[in-house]
Amino acid sequence: MGIARGREQCPEVDVDVVPPSWEVSTQAGELGVQQYTRSPSMQQILFEQYQIPLPPTDLEAIQSIVREQEILSSLATIEDHCDCLTWRRQAAHHGTQVCALFDRNILSDVLSLVRPASCGLLVQCSDRGRIGAAMMAFLQVSNVVIEPSSALYEAADSAPEELRLFRAADNVRPEIYADIALGRRDFLGRNDLPEYSSPLPIVDFHKPITGRKKFYIAVLKIAELELSKRSSVEKMEAFLRWTYDEFLFLPSAILLAASHLTDRRAGSLLKSLRTKDRAKALTNIRNAVWDLQVIQE
């Protein structure tokens, strides 16, 4: 169901092994990094330069927002996934294209900035809008391609229009997003929002997504066990036994069960299951299913 199309990316300037006597200088528009590697016979310095369209102080502030908000998750075993150079190095060293899957909340944060601008309105952004701006600036300077399809399918009726808006948003300059995220600007102007000239893909956002029903069944089972009077260990054991005997193994659903069916959980994708408003509980279950699908993707 992917419909990602990357924006124009920042070019890689240089990645070389240089003598240890070289020094790194950081200037506006580029970022230099030293990385030391040792071998049995010699020491090398890996001198990397990447074009970064933000001043170093702005970049660090943007990365701090992304880190503090805990809105970026990665299964990659890396030191810091909130450092843009982590992802730039993936392309420079390994030829890897990194893709970010947006959930509905982050897409809504970004569109809250773009929608008024597309109508020529100057509307002060919300705190969540600033978080969306920080995320866009971070992903753009990281050369990460954004895939919004999961979030778009979650609101199928408005998805075609939101896709058009998002494609324009994905081509707003990162300097503008940084200004909004850091409070130097309060809105996107109409002239900040480029027209997306390439044809958009024709997508039936109402078409059922492959595998969605199995996730829904698994989440309903987790909810059933959560509402039972069993202990947390008995709930997890029952879920695993049900998975083995009657259903199928879904790694993301098992992870959700392990994190939710415990007395020590700090938070969970499944919220308000015990509310008296059962319609709200079912809505929260459906939201959890969407989140599971993003994790699975």
For 1-27, the DSSP string reads -------PPPPEEEEEEE-TT------
Q: pLDDT band for 270, please (50, 70, 90 cuts).
A: confident
Res 267: pLDDT: 62
In this structure, what token pair is assigned to residue 294? 């993003």
Q: pLDDT band for 46, please (50, 70, 90 cuts).
A: low
In this structure, what token pair is assigned to residue 89? 């190095």
Res 4: pLDDT: 56
Q: Parallel, antiparallel, or unpaired: how do β-strands 99-101 and 43-51 relate?
A: unpaired
Res 111: pLDDT: 96
The region of weakest confidence among 13-17, 18-22, 79-83, 111-115 is 18-22
Dist CA 179 CA 291 (whole Å): 30
Predicted structure pTM score = 0.73
Mean pLDDT across the chain, nearest whole number? 82
